[in-house]
Structure 1
Amino acid sequence: MYAFCCINLAKCVIVQKLDISKQEKETLDEAINYWQQRGLIDDGLAKRLNESYQVKGFDWKRLAQYAFWIALSCVVLAFLSLFADQMVIRWIERLYDTPDTVICIFCLILAFLFYFWGFRNKRKHPDKTFTNEALMALGVFATATFIGYLGKIIDKGSGHFSLLFLASVVIYGVLSVKLSSRLIWVFTLVSFGVWFATETAYHSNWGFRFWGMNYPLRFTLFGALLTAFAVFLQPRIKQLEPFRQISYVIGLTYLMVALWLLSIFGNYSDMDKWSQVRQWHIFYWGLLSSAVSLGLAWYGLKRQDNVAREFGIVFFIINIYTRFFEYLWDNINRAVFFLLLAASFWYIGRWAERIWSGQEKKKAL
């Protein structure tokens, strides 16, 4: 990517310098020096390339992102703080008899207005990403409130409220496609996971087991299916293809977190029974979790898949240290425990240092 930028900059007259980060400038400086020392470019071209970019100033994009997220958080805090105000509490008490239908319709209108505002703003100002996504997020919150009150209106006492989460999945899914919103697609997949949890709980009479599986085992299968869908099927669906990467990341998150919890709790749904079992009795779940982590890391390295590689390496390390605490915390002296912990981190540091040194030597050749 940097080479492509440099070549294009060399071919044209530079009117405005390219703003880049300090790390990117260091990388470009090293690349240009490397090409210059080996005679791939002359001194004049190297000078023109060095003068074609500059370190950008204050990161306004990051500030905008944080500002909008803080603004949304403040909206939530403002709503929660209403309940601490006695005057507001008395006002809410007077509105307590407001029909659920009125609140439901009000939230529906509010959601429609936020979506319309966000979509209109996105068409007029596509560069204002954070503003547009913040409006979409407010629409999502209003939609969730609408669905909740709709459930109260149509509730017949069956307790099957997981259908509301399924409705939210459908609504968010349609909106994410129609409005081309990645943020709403995230809420779609989160709602999908909540629906799966509540639906299986409903069919197991709100117990912890469904078809002999506890929650971690259920979500291991759920995450695997969602990841497979993102990899194999989603690219073939034109409307959903833009959201493939998000589905891939969230699917792997469901899968790896569930596998890690499974390696700790096994397929037990009763905490009393689990607490009486030694961890080595369920070591095979730890082996499975570690094997999947290593498989992901190997796949990521072979296919240049950064997401799979990072998930695999991170969760493999988490698994190793989880087993370390499980098997040694109560069985060896605390001083020895922390010395072993320090030695393991020292080894990881040395290993990473060797890899880094090797890469630096290759650059110098």
Structure 2
Amino acid sequence: MKKLDLSRHEKEIVDQALDFWKANGSLDDQKVQELRTTIDERSFEWKVLARYAFWVALASLIFSVVSLFSDNALEKFIQQFYDTPNVIFCFFFAGLAFAFYFLGFRNKKRYPEKTFSNETLMLAGSFSTAACIGFLGQVLDRENHFFSILFFLSILIYGVLSVKLSSKLIWIFTLVALGIWFATETAYHSDWGWKFWGMNYPLRFTIFGAILTTAAIFVQPKFASLKPFKSTSIIIGLLYTMIALWCLSIFGNYSDFEAWTKIRQYEILYWGLLAIALSLGLALYGLKRKDTVIRDIGFVFFLINLYTRFVEYLWDNINRTIFFLILAISFWVVGRWSEKIWKKQQSSSE
């Protein structure tokens, strides 16, 4: 049966419409379920990615030209703030955060339908909160444990705001703040060294991401206020795990750069094999469950890990011309494959 291919945002709108018609009695439950089976969520937007990449490149070029002509003026402007105490910046961003939160809550109450503008105000408040805490951390001595407590405070602030506003974007800030707190707390208890309980940062965050993902699947749904953020937590947890595991496959569980340079990459190959196996497992799980996000995360990191191993073991062993030729051909194959998927999606939706 031919299905309607929609983006995630479009599918969410259609789902909301179906729920609305079901609630007011326009459609019965059986008909709603029947209509849902005719909808498919579009996978990764390759064409959109290409368009955004060109836009970013153009914007970067513009900023580069502007910076070239205004560099002296910008430098003089920044120099005026070199001697300003960090506590001043801390109070400034605290006031700015309060103003954004006040406007956000007020607009949320007065204009609840303006979701985008309200959430933008809250995001601005989130950025200001992060800046305020950052400068407050500069004021306090990092040897003091209160430095770590500040990051924990930001988790509570972001968590409450995300629940109150039902904002998945602010929930992302909560999980990012949780990661920063975890790094700071473990660093404090290891006297600001690179290892904590024999684990360097990549290994620590591999475990941290795995715990976060597991908690999102089994623990978070038990709390009604946190249940809507389950999918977001799973994605962030997987990203923590896969990025950290990729770093672990390159550097191993080493905290000393000189010691790492003396080893051969095959000595830590088991981390690379684990990263490849896990990413491939995620890709296959996503395909089986028709979960496009998990599938794409697995597929992207599967490619990243394969190319990383390719560079590690072939860079010093084959001619540079052949190396880049193989790389070019492989990327061309991936590009052609992505293009076929995109064209197939287009033809099926017509």
TM-score (norm 2): 0.70
Q: In the alignment, which residue of structure 2 is the partner of 1:116?
A: 102
CA separation of 1:281 and 1:148: change in aligned 2, threshold 3 A: closer
Alignment of 1:310-329 (within 5 A): 310-329=296-315
CA separation of 1:205 and 1:346: change in aligned 2, threshold 3 A: same
CA distance in 1: counterparts of 2:295 and 2:163, whole angstroms: 29
Q: In the alignment, which residue of structure 1 is the partner of 2:22?
A: none
Q: In the alignment, which residue of structure 2 is the partner of 1:261?
A: 247
CA separation of 1:87 and 1:162: change in aligned 2, threshold 3 A: closer
Larger radius of gyration: 1
**Residue 153 of structure 2 corresponds to residue 167 of structure 1:** yes
CA distance in 1: counterparts of 2:264 and 2:248, whole angstroms: 14
- What is the root-mean-square deviation of aligned Cα atoms in Å? 3.9
Query: In structure 2, the residue corresponding to 1:264 is in which secondary structure?
Result: helix
CA separation of 1:327 and 1:89: change in aligned 2, threshold 3 A: same
TM-score (norm 1): 0.67
CA separation of 1:337 and 1:149: change in aligned 2, threshold 3 A: closer
Q: In the alignment, which residue of structure 2 is the partner of 1:89?
A: 80
1:311 shift after superposition: 0.7
Q: In the alignment, which residue of structure 2 is the partner of 1:17?
A: none
1:130 shift after superposition: 3.0
Corresponding residue to 1:277 among 260, 263, 278: 263
**Residue 199 of structure 2 corresponds to residue 208 of structure 1:** no
CA distance in 1: counterparts of 2:243 and 2:329, whole angstroms: 27
Query: In structure 2, the residue corresponding to 1:130 is in which secondary structure?
Result: helix
Corresponding residue to 1:303 among 289, 312, 323: 289
Alignment of 1:37-186 (within 5 A): 84-85=75-76, 89=80, 96=84, 100=87, 107-148=93-134, 158=144, 160-186=146-172
Structure 1 window deviating more from structure 2 (128-137 vs 348-357): it is: 348-357
1:286 shift after superposition: 0.4
Higher relative contact order (CA 8 A, sep 6+): 2
Tell me if the contact between 2:276 and 2:302 (Cα under 8 Å) persists in the aligned partners. Answer: yes
CA distance in 2: counterparts of 1:151 and 1:334, whole angstroms: 47
Instruction: Give the unaligned 5+ runs of structure 2.
Output: 11-51
CA distance in 2: counterparts of 1:212 and 1:192, whole angstroms: 21
CA distance in 2: counterparts of 1:88 and 1:343, whole angstroms: 49
Tell me if the contact between 1:82 and 1:89 (Cα under 8 Å) persists in the aligned partners. Answer: no
Structure 1 window deviating more from structure 2 (311-320 vs 120-129): it is: 120-129
Structure 1 window deviating more from structure 2 (156-165 vs 259-268): it is: 156-165
CA separation of 1:154 and 1:343: change in aligned 2, threshold 3 A: closer
CA separation of 1:206 and 1:103: change in aligned 2, threshold 3 A: closer
CA distance in 1: counterparts of 2:210 and 2:264, whole angstroms: 28
1:267 shift after superposition: 0.7
Q: In the alignment, which residue of structure 2 is the partner of 1:218?
A: 204
Tell me if the contact between 1:297 and 1:312 (Cα under 8 Å) persists in the aligned partners. Answer: yes
Corresponding residue to 2:223 among 234, 237, 249: 237
Tell me if the contact between 2:140 and 2:147 (Cα under 8 Å) persists in the aligned partners. Answer: no
CA separation of 1:281 and 1:114: change in aligned 2, threshold 3 A: same
Tell me if the contact between 2:143 and 2:188 (Cα under 8 Å) persists in the aligned partners. Answer: no
Per-residue displacement from partner, 1:59-109 (whole Å, max 9, x unpaired)? xxxx9xx9xxx9xxx9xx9xxx9984559928x96xx57x94x87666545
Query: In structure 2, the residue corresponding to 1:296 is in which secondary structure?
Result: helix
CA distance in 1: counterparts of 2:156 and 2:147, whole angstroms: 15
State the 4+ residue runs in structure 1 displaced beyond 6 angstroms: 350-361
